[in-house]
Amino acid sequence: MLQLAVKAFQSKNFDLAADIYECQLAGLGDPGSRQELMVKRADALAFGGKFTEAFDVYRQASEIGRLRPGHLINLVEYLSESISRQDGERRGAESREAVAAGCVPASCATTGCGGYEGFSCRICLSFLFEPVTLPCGHCFCKKCLEREVKEKERPVMCKECRDSSRVADVQSYRVNVVLSNLLAKWFPIPQQAGQLRREGNGLYAERRMEAALEKYNQAILIAPLDHILFSNRSQIHSSLKHYEKALRDAEMACRLMPHWSKGHVRKAQALVSLGRTEEALREYLVSLSIEPDYRLAKTEAHKLLSDLLAPVTDQVPEHISDYSSISSFRAHIKNINTPSQSQHVVVRVQPCLHSSSPDKLEGDMKGQGKLEVSRMDHRFILKRKRRSAEEVEDGGQEKRSQEIQSEVTDSSNCAGVGDILDPTDLECSLCMRQYCKTVLMENLISKYLPSELIERQKIHQEEMAELSNLNKNVPIFVCTMAFPTVPCPLHIFEPCYRLMIRRCMETGTNCFGMCLADNLKGFAEYGCLLEIRDVKFFSDGRSVVDTIGRRRFKVIQHRERDGYNTADIEYLEDVKVEGVAQRELQSLHDTVYDQALVWLNSLKTEQKERIEGHFGPMPGKDSVLQASPNGPSWCWWLLAVLPLEGRAQLPFLALTSLKDRLSGIRKVLLFMAHSKHR
């Protein structure tokens, strides 16, 4: 029967599940088992919409023994989902109204961009600070990614595209320097506030609370709409046991960003310190309705619920037994202090380039004194409207509320975007051309530099057509000897060769030439075309490239491009023979092949295993001797493993006569055999 109840609960037949658990409880005497079944029955009643009855059963279960967090998982899930559903309906309606009224851009209404549309982190919902680009192309704050790994103990998942397949250890990712410099140039005030925040965090880690508080006070003076600053200052106040101030800062963070889960956790922590546990529980549930996997909020909600459900002599307070007071997110957001107080923040910001005189935003701001916002150089011109605060009395304490509304000035007041958006800001540090690897920067280029983008696309198409030609301007890697059909693994670390490999991959040819260095000409006149089979990238830009030799070539003309060598080349093929010459060639081929096997088998076992581990086993004879334009593959394999210097190997690459190549290999094998017997 219990299995049937579980299946009924899973199939959302909650009434049936509750009835089955009730029947099973009738004949059960063991207190521990009774408590388990009572909790399950209460869960079924709650999900079935009978919350008052469910709460009574939870209380009865708590009388047997204190409810553990595991008992309350379903209850917390139900309450947070109720809040989420109600808030989703309200948020959708209010977002449509705000967009229709022109109060916020459509994208901000749906994503909560914190006033920086397109430049915000989807984790903290604030301005990007020290941006890191994930493999999918989306950007987040470095500290936010590190915190995600630490707090959730699972691989990082992109909040934009939900991709986690290519996201490795976040510690290996570095700040996107191009994007970071661009944001610092466009938005100096958020960058300055972010720097102060980082300094304050360092002081907080050193337990220098007063100094940390001063840094955050300075940051809030220049960025009074940054919810993270208020949230972190709330934490500092809590450490200093200034719990009322901590609560005020947490409330401000919630006003500035109502749908940021951490802000509600900060408020709940302050409320717990003040002994207001019922309100704290509501805040934790609000946080879970926004972010269901928030581990800290879930743990604390379980703990508070367990305390509230513990047996008491007095009747349970009405505002707890009535779940609607817990799950009314809309009322909670609009009545942060008292039902009569209402504060609303609307922020609409776009990059604007007109210079203006300094503006001041003055207000009480919960006892923090006057706030002054300096001029955002060439960025934003904000009209700030103040409304006089009304004083209300609540329990003998006076509280002041104010409404801050920030609107962007008319776009006609702004100069052209080109005044601050310089195409060189988006240049690639390797090829010194506008090459964008992040979604954010691609969007910026498309929106603000359309003509430059079209011009660059044309240049790129011409480059790709030119680079796809494997006869002219072929990239040349000057390094070592390479041979047809023989593997050639490479470690790429120089920027010019990183660029070269990237271009080879982009064109689709996946090929480049390999030549020995030459003191006079730069590189040798003969080489081998390599094909890229696989590339493994490292976080610092290095890569290991797995290549294999394809065709021999002769260099016709030496050139250089963006720091690496290129060449016009012509490919070499063996001259075919027929008749008597063919029969003599076949006999010579078989003789030299046998000599090669004798030499290979004469090596020590360790040497032979090392060779085969790197180059693979020696290839067999070709069924048709002259089928390949490069000749038998075993010849090239042997030349690669023979103890010859590159200058001694190079002439074999230039030969177009298979007979001459076989004769040269035979001489080398005979010389090595004689040397071994001496």
CATH for 176? 1.25.40.10
Of 322, 345, 321, nearest in space to 333 by CA: 345
pLDDT of 287 above 80: yes
pLDDT top residue among 562 and 398: 562
pLDDT of residue 489: 93
Hey, what's the torsion of the CAs at 46, 259, 146, 162, to 10 degrees?
70
Residues 35 and 183 both lie in one domain? no
Of 385, 372, 374, nearest in space to 345 by CA: 385
- DSSP conformation letters of 471-536: SSSEEEEESS---BT-B--EEE-SHHHHHHHHHHHHHS--EEEEEEEETTTEEEEEEEEEEEEEEE
Per the CB < 8 A criterion, the answer to whether 434 and 426 are in contact is yes
For all residues of the chain together, what is the average pLDDT? Answer: 75
pLDDT of 190 above 60: yes
Q: Which of 311, 339, 359 is the last residue of a domain?
A: 311
- In angstroms, the CA 542 to CA 216 distance is 39
Q: CA torsion sign, 284 to 287 to 289 to 291? A: negative
142: confidence class by pLDDT, cuts 50, 70, 90: confident
Residues 153 and 209 both lie in one domain? yes
Q: Which of 572, 601, 634 is the last residue of a domain?
A: 572
Residues 211 and 302 both lie in one domain? yes
Domain enclosing residue 39, as ranges: 1-65
pLDDT of 370 above 70: no
268: confidence class by pLDDT, cuts 50, 70, 90: very high
Residues 611 and 514 both lie in one domain? no
100: confidence class by pLDDT, cuts 50, 70, 90: low
Residues 281 and 158 both lie in one domain? yes
CB-side neighbour CA atoms (13 Å) of 589:
21
3-state SS class at 58: helix
pLDDT of 209 above 80: yes
Range 616-624 average pLDDT: 91
Cβ burial, residue 448 (10 Å; 0-12/13-18/19+):
middle
88 contacts: CB under 8 Å, gap ≥ 6? none
Alpha helix (H) residue ranges in 240-372: 243-256, 261-273, 277-290, 295-309, 318-321, 323-327, 329-334
Residue 523 lies in a domain: yes
Residue 266 lies in a domain: yes
pLDDT of 521 above 70: yes
Residue 98 lies in a domain: no
660: confidence class by pLDDT, cuts 50, 70, 90: very high
Per the CB < 8 A criterion, the answer to whether 373 and 219 are in contact is no
The total number of residues written for the chain in this structure: 678
Which pair of structure tokens corresponds to residue 437?
């690897």
525: confidence class by pLDDT, cuts 50, 70, 90: very high
Which pair of structure tokens corresponds to residue 24?
């099973």
Task: Give the number of domains in the chain.
Answer: 4
pLDDT of 322 above 70: no
Q: How does DSSP classify residue 562? A: T
pLDDT of 36 above 60: yes
Residues 595 and 561 both lie in one domain? no
Which pair of structure tokens corresponds to residue 532?
């890229």
To which residue do tokens 């006079």 refer? 520
Of 633, 644, 637, 647, nearest in space to 672 by CA: 644
Residue 425 lies in a domain: no
Residues 143 and 185 both lie in one domain? yes
- List the single range of 86-95, 132-141, 446-455, 514-523 with lowest mean pLDDT: 86-95
Report for 13-17, 117-121, 336-340, 577-581: range of highest mean pLDDT: 577-581
Q: How far apart are the first and last CA of the chain?
A: 90
Beta bridge partners of 568: 557
- In angstroms, the CA 584 to CA 578 distance is 10
- In angstroms, the CA 252 to CA 293 distance is 24
- In angstroms, the CA 73 to CA 281 distance is 14
Residue 244 lies in a domain: yes
Residues 196 and 52 both lie in one domain? no
Residues 172 and 284 both lie in one domain? yes
The CA angle 527-512-482, to the nearest 5 degrees, is 40
Residue 442 lies in a domain: no
Residues 169 and 193 both lie in one domain? yes
587: confidence class by pLDDT, cuts 50, 70, 90: very high
Residue 93 lies in a domain: no
- In angstroms, the CA 71 to CA 39 distance is 6
Residue 432 lies in a domain: no
Residues 637 and 668 both lie in one domain? yes
3-state SS class at 149: helix
Q: Which of 311, 333, 360 is the last residue of a domain?
A: 311
Amino acid letter, 361:
L
Query: How far from 551 is each of 316, 428, 617, CA to CA, in Å?
Result: 85, 33, 21
List the CATH number of the domain containing 59.
Answer: 1.25.40
List the CATH number of the domain containing 473.
Answer: 2.30.130.40
CB-side neighbour CA atoms (13 Å) of 143:
14
The pTM of this model reads 0.53
Residues 197 and 242 both lie in one domain? yes
pLDDT top residue among 567 and 673: 567
Range 444-471 average pLDDT: 83
- In angstroms, the CA 308 to CA 51 distance is 16
Report for 106-115, 138-147, 205-214: range of highest mean pLDDT: 205-214
To which residue do tokens 């079924």 refer? 44
pLDDT of residue 69: 73
Per the CB < 8 A criterion, the answer to whether 535 and 508 are in contact is no
